[in-house]
Structure 1
Amino acid sequence: MCGGRHVPAPGGGMKGLDAVVTPQEWEAWAPDPTVARVRIERWLASQSQPELTLQSLATFPLGREAVVRLLGASEYWTQVFVQNPELGTLVLSPEEWMFPITADDAHATARRLVGASVSYSHRLDRLRYVKQRGVLRCLVHDLTGIWSPPKVWAALSELAEGLVRCAAEVVWEEVRERHGVSGEFPVAIVAYGKLGGHELNLSSDIDLVYVIPDDLDEATETVVNKTLVALGRALSDRMGRGALYRVDTRLRPFGRSGPLCMRWRAVESYFKNHAEPWEQLAMIRSRVIFGTQEEAERWQGLRQAVVFRPARGEWVVDELMQMRVQLDNFKGDNDLKRSPGGIRDIEFSVQMLQLLHGYGEPALQGFSTLDVLGALAELGLLKSDEPRRLAEAYVFFRQIEHRLQMGDDLQTHVLPAEDAAWTALARSMNEPDGAAFRDRVERTRVEVRELYLSILGRRGEVAGKSPWPREADPWLGALSGEGWAESLRENRDSLTRVTWLARMAPVLMPYLGQDPVVSEWLISGEFEEMKPRMRDGSAPALRRAWLLAACRALLLETSFGEEWSEVLDEWFFAHKGGLEVIALGSFAGRNMGLFSDCDLWVWGQEVEAEQLVARVQTVRQAGAPLNMDLRLRPEGRSGPLASSVASFRKYRTERLETWERMALSRARPIGGAPQALPEIEDLLAKPLTGEEFEELLTMKHRIETERVPAHHWKRHLRHSAGGTDDVEWLVHLAMMKEPGWRPPVANGMQAELASLENSRILVPEDVNELRLTYRLWQRLRMALACLAFDADVVPENPDKLDALAEVLKYEGGNAMLKEIQHGQTRVREIFDKGVRRLQEW
């Protein structure tokens, strides 16, 4: 009797269950023979023709062993067999045992069943059926020893990969139909962790990251986000057959606080420039499981650049080790995965060695723990017997993990507390003595912990440690080659310089990490003699010149604006063709900031202007820090790109406003300008009237009051009283009021200040004070940009203020703030004095 129903011995000479399974088989295969018998009888009782199943059990010994082992060890699978008797009969079908599991086969089977489904929920149920059938095949091969443990892990991973691919397609087809979107699902799905490493276990979470194309339009991106939310539910929600997989997306950029999907360029930028050490470690086991071949290769290229670097700062290792200590303290002694001497110790040891030695060693850049242990042995990076001992322990622990999870289909790693449970676990592992088995587990854990501490304790003997600080890792850690660390060890002055620059200019670190030439100049000291030049005008050459100008400004206190604008002058002169090119704004004044646009006004043929715009876009897309802004031209965005004598004269007569005339007062021709220059000179030759002068002062007041938030009123370096605007406006008001004070050749703000010394509105001492303070403001703006602080705003935070002071080589933030306040006061006093004299002029 079982469950109220008798399971008769079939007639016609057919034997009953006791005769089909011998006492020796019950004892050899079942963790608890009595429990196994009861569970099998429940399964038989659920069938309409149990005699057929008994016949199959009698004639197929391998299937009989699988049933006894599986139902004897798992109440969960007993319930599955009772609810779905057809699944149980599959175990007794020899053809079910013949074929391996591949992602393509799992995907094809799922697509076939989904295609015959009548509803969305039915399609999700069919996916779960395919999973049940696939996991069952893995289990029977595992329990009977036909597949090795690594083959079982790989099969479970292939099954998951195929089902995730099919689920993504099913959900996309459902969502896109509702939103009127066509095409394939435009997402690359990246698997991390056990699935990424092709080592999935019976009840693993699957860690997924989603990446979308750079050029995906916003409307489709919105639909994609809805699809990904629905995909998470489709995989994780429990239905009649349970869940497919629990999904964890916290390994994406910025974790829980980040968007569910990001574009490729943003993902690449994050991992190359901002990934924490633990994120780099996690990336070792990551691969694209849904997407194009090109996307798979692009991800592996990113993984290569982020994970397998030639050298790493010792801080990376220390931080990861500290993380492990925290994990050790978090879990109890019975956790087979996370507690000392467990699965995580083995995986962490292997991945740390990959992180430290993987550069230039393809065998160490693999995904599978066992494969990499083999490579470590071949390369001699572990002592002779260490790889074997770790591999044996890893397989042993993972087998125990499977048995623990198989019982109730739970994600558990907790070892038993009771002796009876230890005995059942031991018998499921083909070991008859529970106490001896428990002792073996504990000895192995102690051994693994000793190996873990030994391997990581001697990492300094073999690891490519780097002398640079953490802040420099996006720079020096990203450079190819192994000589950087040695160069810095040999030259303490260079290390000091590199350390200071890394702390003071985090914004520049990713750019330096892509430029070994500038890096070499900085380490060798050659940068002091290397003045930025355009060279061949390519995007890399422009980026190199920009980078060198920025580093020189920080380290040598040269003027970034002057050096960079000279490079840009060369570039535009070489590429302007038949155009006349006039620099405006900060470009004209040679006081550009780190990320300033080039304000330009071009004269000539419209088609040539369009070609110049296209050339700028081409080098910018190739990585040059160059952007052209033509909005200060007459008519702005609404007018043609290029001006002519006729169009400018017409605009000047009909529409030119006083503020536009002031903007053009900064005009600086790049090369010859036979058409534009006479027109500009004629425009600026006419002195401002008193009414026009007051109109500009009113505009200046509006800029101060409207563009500066109240909480930045005294801290804005451009628009606050005493800021750069005061200096620039005073200079240009003076030269528009008295055109004769303009320098004979336009050459930037410093030349214009020098020319102002010849006026009678300011004494030379005032002009010199303006010059020095203006240069200080420019250095402050440069430092703010390099530190990634708010643009043009002196920070209130004491730590930020001290960092800014260190860049500018002040003793501290308070000393610097005192000088800034003094400078603002004096500049505003000089500005007010100069304006009064101009009003009286």
Structure 2
Amino acid sequence: MLEPQQHSNEGHWQQWLDWASEQGFVWPADQAFDDARARVWDGSEFVALAAARDPATFASLLKTGDFSRSFGADSIAEQLRDALAEVADEEALQQALRRFRRRQMLRIVFRDLAGWATLDETLEDLTALADSCIRESLRLLEQWTRAELGVPQDGHARPQSLLVLGMGKLGARELNLSSDIDLIFAFPSAGRVEGGPRELTAEQFFSRLCQRLVKSLNAKTVDGFVFRVDTRLRPFGDSGPLAMSFDAMEGYYHSQAREWERYAMTKARVVAGEPEARAELEAMLRPFVYRRYLDFGAIASLRNLKVLIDRELRRKGMADNIKLGPGGIREIEFIGQSFQLIRGGREPDLQVRPIQQVLALLGQKGLLEPKTVTELTESYRFLRLTENRLQAWRDEQTHSLPSAPAARERLARSMGYDDWGRFESVLNAHRARVQQHFDAVFADPDEPAHTATSVASLWERAPEPAEATALLQAAGFEDAEAAWQQLLDFRDTADRKGLSNRGVARLGLVMPRLLEEVATCGAADQTLSRVLKVLEAVLGRTAYLDLLAEHPDALHQLVRLSAKSPWFGERTARQPLLLDELLDPRRLFEPLRRANLEQELDQLLSGVDASDLEQRMERLRQFAQGNRLRVAAADVTGAIPLMVVSDYLTEIAEVTTSRSLEITWQDLVERHGGPPGTDQASPGFCVIGYGKVGGIELGYNSDLDLVFLYDEATAGKMTEGPRSVVSEQFYVRLGQRLIHVMTTPTYSGVLYEVDMRLRPDGNKGMIARSLASFADYQAESAWTWEHQALVRARPIAGDQALAERFRQVRAEVLRRRRDPESLREEVRSMRAKMRANLDKTRAGWFDLKQGAGGIADIEFMVQYAVLRWACDHPDLTTWTDNIRLLELLIKQGLLAASVGANLTLAYKALRAAYHRHALQDTAGLVEDTQLGPERQSVIAAWQQLMESSAQ
């Protein structure tokens, strides 16, 4: 039996049938259409009425087959342009827009309810309809307003146009069936209107234009409306100007905007405006929305906003609101936005607008479990479809479930369920899942108060000194009085910093947990001092207190790693951005290899404007420091073996050097053009790594010994650019700028210290020289110690063809036949000079690197062996690292197996100790009672290889 409204809708259908009969119009006579039509009429009074009141439009849609056709955005835009082709004034524009909107809405709603369109198609078509109406209306209105008032110009007499920011679902291309469109209007710069009847500012012109645009879309006429327009999201809301210049907007968003305006901007999209101005506006807004650090304050702010929304819903009795209520659409959006706001500045691929794309990315990055992503996506699609079916009924903006039994049954049928009970059961299951995931992400980290006898209570209640020291001593602090004084000093520092109320609250969460963690770490006294230095460094930056408060695991890792090495605390205090690396133990203890390093750095640099050299330099430093911290974390916890630590550290240096060269090349070529026949992939320039980076033995605090070479084929030729220079000068500048990019301090310090003293002629030599002159120098002028250095030299960045030529030159130099006695004497002499100048061994202490039997002795022996025997054993020029060279010397029978094995074991032990001391931030000295057998084996090998006349 039909409900009364169904009777009414069927009556509307009969009205259309009567009209069709009178007009002789033949409609589809097939069961599929009849079934679809019945579903649509059952689910939408809007469609039934529209067909009855405007039967010709409905008939036209049937005749053209538009009901069964999927349109794209370009097609909708083209149809609207055709519909507006003859429009000459605002009244005609308003009428044409409303008729076009009615036709498209009939088609979209029909296809949606009939089941002929997917949810994604419906959302995209609705967005494309709104975009087209805004753009085409603006195009005509701007022409007419200029004809009446003149042309708005900037301070340089250049014409400028209005930009329209679409917010919310419009910005995210997720518009629903009866949505408002939230718009913000902007123009590039303050200026005057020229050529008009009276003097106007650009702001006055654009405000008038905005008023006309809003009226064209929003006004209700006899033909209805196009879209309800809401402009209250603009700066200062209703009290602010309708359109603002970029400068005024930037000032507002970076000094006066509220937190919810950041969330809103995650979905903002420029829907109309000139491309160049659009790019400028987006670049200006991006830093406001996406912070360069991981912004965990976003979680607390979103949590607070949700509390306010829930309170308002309860006040208004709106628990059945599927958008704002518990387990509703807004909670899914908040989950996605929280990760975007936290990580979007560091991971630019998260700066996307549609929530389904955001969820998919979070799954790919491992930030949400695959099951969570699947469930949230399924629930989002179900809730959005329900929302559309609610609004399809009367083309009204509603998000609340109906209370009338008949309306409930109708909604259930439109969703494909036999009755309300079955639909409600599925709906409640989706909302419960969303609520569960929302609570998991936004769980409040506040814990019950600690007992008065726990060490955690020391921060909360500040007891008398005797009680405090007793608690600290019981918790494992050896010097409890000093520890208590450190806490008091830290509290004084925090008070002097003048923290905000939020900062005080977050510190109140962090400190009790920190004290508990420190008390159980096994080195409480030293660890407390190290971690308090980190906290002192971030006291004025609430974002980092938010991070530690919201993620107790990150605090645990900070304490754990600081307990093992002051290196962590010292560097994190200096660069708090490194705290971000503590969030994911999977990443923290699994350093990346070359391919993944390159991918991560490309991603980190992709969100930076190519013209912003300073920010690219800053990102390079963040990348290198973060990855060095991962290596150190894996090192001190034993997650990776010692012998690969240097491999990881060397690859980080190689990747950053390579990207630094690319950045430098791009900047210099833009200014001068490149030498003939070169490009970024083949720049005719190569970076040669010497010393530790060349020998794949880089340490945590190592600088880079570099030499720059270029292809002599370009010599004497001019670069191909606007400010042409001779190629030799170009390559010298390239080397100078590369050093600048790597060594100039930014907010995060330097990338690497660079040492160029190993280049031909040392500090007196050219910064870059041709490979041919380098080869001549090595053959004719180089000292033996320079050939020793060449043993550990290899290309690490730049032109691969030139790198291969360098390898050939290196091999030829190293394979020269030398007089063994003269060679041995020169190597011994150089070692003696180095020990005299650099050895820090003293009473009770041994210098791991320069002391007798230390690292340098092994390196000199290996270099001597390569230079002596490479002429007969060319394989010795294949490798640059000591371990593999020792293996080859044993294999070739050039070192006795026992001697080679002892040197290998000693080298590994000495390097292990050297790494550990680097992580302790102490000089490379150990008590002279340590490593005795290893040192003696090195001394014995030196005597045998370097002192015996039989050699």
Please report the TM-score for the alignment, with normalisation by the length of structure 1. 0.51
Residue by residue over 1:385-438, the C-alpha shift from the partner in whole angstroms, topping out at 9 and shown as x without a partner, is 111111111111111111111111110111011222211111111211222112
Residue by residue over 1:656-687, the C-alpha shift from the partner in whole angstroms, topping out at 9 and shown as x without a partner, is xxxxxxxxxxxxxxxxxxxxxxxxxxxxxxxx
Report deviation, 1:313. 5.7
Give, in whole Å, the separation in 1 of the partners of 2:32 and 2:280: 45
Q: Check 1:459–1:266 CA distance in 2 against 1; reply closer, same or farther (3 A cut).
A: farther
Q: Check 1:229–1:112 CA distance in 2 against 1; reply closer, same or farther (3 A cut).
A: same
Unaligned residue ranges in structure 1 (runs of 5+): 1-25, 461-466, 474-486, 503-519, 526-538, 542-841
Equivalent pair of 2:81/2:136 in contact (CA under 8 Å): yes
Report deviation, 1:88. 1.2
Q: What pairs up with 1:720-731 in 2 under 5 angstroms?
A: none
Report deviation, 1:492. 3.7
Equivalent pair of 1:316/1:470 in contact (CA under 8 Å): no
Q: Check 1:211–1:459 CA distance in 2 against 1; reply closer, same or farther (3 A cut).
A: farther
User: Which residue number corresponds to residue 653 of structure 1?
Assistant: none
Q: Is residue 2:538 matched to residue 1:495? A: yes
Q: Is residue 2:435 matched to residue 1:449? A: yes
Q: Check 1:131–1:488 CA distance in 2 against 1; reply closer, same or farther (3 A cut).
A: farther
Q: Using the TM superposition, name which of 285-294 and 430-439 deviates more.
A: 430-439
Give, in whole Å, the separation in 1 of the partners of 2:87 and 2:20: 26
What letter corresponds to residue 170 of structure 2 in structure 1?
L
User: Which residue number corresponds to residue 125 of structure 1?
Assistant: 95
Equivalent pair of 1:194/1:201 in contact (CA under 8 Å): yes
User: Which residue number corresponds to residue 29 of structure 2?
Assistant: 58
Q: Is residue 2:204 matched to residue 1:222? A: yes
User: Which residue number corresponds to residue 198 of structure 1?
Assistant: 173
Q: Is residue 2:384 matched to residue 1:401? A: no
Q: Is residue 2:301 matched to residue 1:319? A: yes
User: Could you say what secondary structure the match of 2:27 adopts?
Assistant: helix
User: Which residue number corresponds to residue 515 of structure 1?
Assistant: none
User: Which residue number corresponds to residue 79 of structure 1?
Assistant: 49
Equivalent pair of 2:166/2:270 in contact (CA under 8 Å): yes
Give, in whole Å, the separation in 1 of the partners of 2:165 and 2:135: 11
Give the aligned CA root-mean-square deviation in angstroms: 3.7
Q: Check 1:272–1:43 CA distance in 2 against 1; reply closer, same or farther (3 A cut).
A: same
User: Could you say what secondary structure the match of 1:250 adopts?
Assistant: coil
What letter corresponds to residue 534 of structure 2 in structure 1?
N
Report deviation, 1:182. 7.8
Find the partner of 1:277 among 236, 259, 265.
Answer: 259
Q: Check 1:137–1:62 CA distance in 2 against 1; reply closer, same or farther (3 A cut).
A: farther
What letter corresponds to residue 293 of structure 2 in structure 1?
A
Unaligned residue ranges in structure 2 (runs of 5+): 154-158, 193-199, 447-493, 504-529, 546-569, 576-611, 615-951
Q: Check 1:302–1:470 CA distance in 2 against 1; reply closer, same or farther (3 A cut).
A: farther
What letter corresponds to residue 78 of structure 2 in structure 1?
A
Q: Check 1:199–1:459 CA distance in 2 against 1; reply closer, same or farther (3 A cut).
A: farther
Q: Is residue 2:219 matched to residue 1:237? A: yes
Find the partner of 2:357 among 371, 383, 408.
Answer: 371
Equivalent pair of 2:298/2:338 in contact (CA under 8 Å): no
Report deviation, 1:472. 12
What letter corresponds to residue 365 of structure 1 in structure 2?
Q
Report deviation, 1:264. 1.0
Report deviation, 1:446. 2.0
Which gives a bigger RCO, structure 1 or 2 (Cα 8 Å, sep 6+)?
Answer: 1
Equivalent pair of 1:66/1:91 in contact (CA under 8 Å): no
Equivalent pair of 1:172/1:185 in contact (CA under 8 Å): no
Find the partner of 1:108 among 52, 72, 78.
Answer: 78
Report deviation, 1:375. 0.9
User: Which residue number corresponds to residue 396 of structure 2?
Assistant: 410
What letter corresponds to residue 43 of structure 2 in structure 1?
A
User: Which residue number corresponds to residue 388 of structure 1?
Assistant: 374
Give, in whole Å, the separation in 1 of the partners of 2:38 and 2:27: 13
Give, in whole Å, the separation in 2 of the partners of 1:127 and 1:39: 25
User: Which residue number corresponds to residue 581 of structure 2?
Assistant: none
Give, in whole Å, the separation in 2 of the partners of 1:158 and 1:470: 45
Q: Is residue 2:17 matched to residue 1:44? A: yes
Give, in whole Å, the separation in 2 of the partners of 1:423 and 1:388: 28
User: Could you say what secondary structure the match of 2:185 adopts?
Assistant: strand
User: Which residue number corresponds to residue 120 of structure 2?
Assistant: 150
Give, in whole Å, the separation in 2 of the partners of 1:521 and 1:260: 48
User: Which residue number corresponds to residue 172 of structure 1?
Assistant: 142
Residue by residue over 1:87-123, the C-alpha shift from the partner in whole angstroms, topping out at 9 and shown as x without a partner, is 2113423531465444443333223222323542122
Q: Check 1:523–1:435 CA distance in 2 against 1; reply closer, same or farther (3 A cut).
A: closer
Residue by residue over 1:28-62, the C-alpha shift from the partner in whole angstroms, topping out at 9 and shown as x without a partner, is xx99864553231122234462652xx42315x55
Q: Check 1:498–1:326 CA distance in 2 against 1; reply closer, same or farther (3 A cut).
A: closer
Equivalent pair of 1:103/1:160 in contact (CA under 8 Å): no
Q: Check 1:313–1:403 CA distance in 2 against 1; reply closer, same or farther (3 A cut).
A: closer
Give, in whole Å, the separation in 2 of the partners of 1:205 and 1:446: 28
Give, in whole Å, the separation in 1 of the partners of 2:151 and 2:430: 56
Residue by residue over 1:474-510, the C-alpha shift from the partner in whole angstroms, topping out at 9 and shown as x without a partner, is xxxxxxxxxxxxx9974344335778xx9xxxxxxxx
What letter corresponds to residue 79 of structure 2 in structure 1?
T
Give, in whole Å, the separation in 1 of the partners of 2:235 and 2:267: 16
Q: Using the TM superposition, name which of 403-412 and 178-187 deviates more.
A: 178-187
Equivalent pair of 2:68/2:111 in contact (CA under 8 Å): no
Q: Is residue 2:327 matched to residue 1:341? A: yes
User: Could you say what secondary structure the match of 1:408 adopts?
Assistant: coil
Give, in whole Å, the separation in 2 of the partners of 1:498 and 1:385: 35
User: Which residue number corresponds to residue 138 of structure 1?
Assistant: 108
User: Could you say what secondary structure the match of 1:385 adopts?
Assistant: helix
Equivalent pair of 2:218/2:227 in contact (CA under 8 Å): yes
What letter corresponds to residue 57 of structure 1 in structure 2?
P
Equivalent pair of 2:533/2:573 in contact (CA under 8 Å): no
Equivalent pair of 1:382/1:455 in contact (CA under 8 Å): no
Residue by residue over 1:586-625, the C-alpha shift from the partner in whole angstroms, topping out at 9 and shown as x without a partner, is xxxxxxxxxxxxxxxxxxxxxxxxxxxxxxxxxxxxxxxx
User: Which residue number corresponds to residue 684 of structure 1?
Assistant: none
Equivalent pair of 2:295/2:343 in contact (CA under 8 Å): no
Residue by residue over 1:613-663, the C-alpha shift from the partner in whole angstroms, topping out at 9 and shown as x without a partner, is xxxxxxxxxxxxxxxxxxxxxxxxxxxxxxxxxxxxxxxxxxxxxxxxxxx
Q: What pairs up with 1:404-483 in 2 under 5 angstroms?
A: 404-457=390-443
Give, in whole Å, the separation in 2 of the partners of 1:498 and 1:143: 52
Report deviation, 1:158. 1.0
Give, in whole Å, the separation in 2 of the partners of 1:49 and 1:490: 87
Equivalent pair of 1:120/1:174 in contact (CA under 8 Å): no
What letter corresponds to residue 235 of structure 1 in structure 2?
L
Equivalent pair of 2:266/2:337 in contact (CA under 8 Å): yes
Report deviation, 1:154. 1.1
Report deviation, 1:373. 0.9
Report deviation, 1:141. 2.5
Q: Check 1:49–1:489 CA distance in 2 against 1; reply closer, same or farther (3 A cut).
A: farther
Q: What pairs up with 1:437-836 in 2 under 5 angstroms?
A: 437-457=423-443, 490-496=533-539
User: Which residue number corresponds to residue 302 of structure 1?
Assistant: 284
What letter corresponds to residue 258 of structure 1 in structure 2?
G
Report deviation, 1:206. 0.7
Residue by residue over 1:449-471, the C-alpha shift from the partner in whole angstroms, topping out at 9 and shown as x without a partner, is 122111222899xxxxxx99679
User: Could you say what secondary structure the match of 2:164 adopts?
Assistant: strand
Q: Check 1:76–1:146 CA distance in 2 against 1; reply closer, same or farther (3 A cut).
A: closer
What letter corresponds to residue 257 of structure 1 in structure 2?
S
Give, in whole Å, the separation in 1 of the partners of 2:245 and 2:271: 17
Give, in whole Å, the separation in 1 of the partners of 2:540 and 2:183: 41
Residue by residue over 1:670-724, the C-alpha shift from the partner in whole angstroms, topping out at 9 and shown as x without a partner, is xxxxxxxxxxxxxxxxxxxxxxxxxxxxxxxxxxxxxxxxxxxxxxxxxxxxxxx
Equivalent pair of 1:210/1:261 in contact (CA under 8 Å): yes
Q: Check 1:371–1:497 CA distance in 2 against 1; reply closer, same or farther (3 A cut).
A: closer
User: Could you say what secondary structure the match of 1:207 adopts?
Assistant: strand
**Number of matched residues?**
463
What letter corresponds to residue 14 of structure 2 in structure 1?
E
Give, in whole Å, the separation in 2 of the partners of 1:284 and 1:454: 22
What letter corresponds to residue 185 of structure 2 in structure 1?
Y
Q: Using the TM superposition, name which of 146-155 and 33-42 deviates more.
A: 33-42
